[in-house]
Amino acid sequence: MALFSGAAAEFWMRYIHYVFGILWIGHLYYFNFSQMPFMAETDAPTKSQVFQKLTPKTMFWFRWGAMLTFLSGWSMILHKAGLGVPMSSGWGTMILSGGIIGTLMFLNVWLIIWPSNKMAIENATRVAKGESAIPGVADLMARAAIASRTNTMFSMPMLFFMGGASHIPLNLSPEKSLVPYWATFAFVIGLIELNAIKGKMGPLQKLVAAIHLGLALTLALYLAMEFLAG
């Protein structure tokens, strides 16, 4: 049976990638589309219940979904590279663009969003027991919100390049260097990531703005790819 032959191994990795990608980005969109607006209008006792009872569950699936998407994604890239598919091809340039943005999103989950939420869970549990609150939790959660909105914006170009790698017929010109494209990519994506780590919420406060900025970023990167390397 074709599905169980060695040749289908890559397909199984792909299937795992889709399932965990949905688990991860499904939770990301739930947080940004539904839970953040709910938390903004709800009372303190309900918020405490959310942190104590709901957040441990959502954060579990969210962070492990991110981990398995990340691991399955890079195994596919390494597998293709091992088969000799050049990373400087149209496919390679697109999948690396999507994969690098996805990797930054994964790091935002594990290094910013999860540690902040872990503290918020701990804080709500302590306060419910009548113990003193942990100082600085509100600031940590504000940083987590900026990282989460950045990830929502990043999800737009990330998915575009992920899906586009095999489905957009991009032909890169062999005589053009990829350096101008990658320099532009590193500058733009690096500045946005720096803002997630140290900067302000700014226009990302509004979900619709985060989505529009994500779409504009997608178009800008795609045009940079076509004009600088195509």
Size of the site for ligand HEM (CB under 6 A): 23
For 37-105, give the DSSP string: HHHHHS-HHHHHHIIIIIHHHHHHHHHHHHHHHHHHHHHHHHHHHHTT--TTSHHHHHHHHHHHHHHHH
Distance of CA 102 to the CA centre of its chain: 5
Closest approach, Cβ 206 to ligand HEM, in A, equals: 23
Closest approach, Cβ 28 to ligand HEM, in A, equals: 9
Q: Kindly indicate which of the ranges 110-118, 162-170, 173-181, 212-220 contains the residues binding ligand HEM, using the contact rule CB under 6 A.
A: 162-170
Q: Kindly indicate which of the ranges 18-26, 123-131, 195-203, 217-225 contains the residues binding ligand HEM, using the contact rule CB under 6 A.
A: 18-26
Select from 32, 59, 63, 102 the one that contacts ligand HEM (CB under 6 A): 102
Cα separation values, 166 from 29, 96, 114, 194, 205, Å: 25, 12, 32, 30, 34
Q: Does 163 bind ligand HEM (CB under 6 A)?
A: yes
CB of 73 or CB of 137, closer to ligand HEM:
73
Site mask, ligand HEM, residues 47-76, x = CB under 6 A? ----------------------xx--xx-x
Contacts of 13 by beta carbon, 8 Å cutoff, 6+ apart: 72, 75, 76, 79
Residue 25 DSSP one-character state:
H
Q: Does 24 bind ligand HEM (CB under 6 A)?
A: yes
Closest approach, Cβ 96 to ligand HEM, in A, equals: 8
Distance CA 152, CA 129 (A): 35
Closest approach, Cβ 91 to ligand HEM, in A, equals: 6
Contact 47, 39 (CB under 8 A): yes
Closest approach, Cβ 103 to ligand HEM, in A, equals: 5
| Residues that bind ligand HEM in the complex, under the rule CB under 6 A | 17-18, 21-22, 24-25, 69-70, 73-74, 76-77, 95, 99, 102-103, 106, 159, 162-163, 165-167
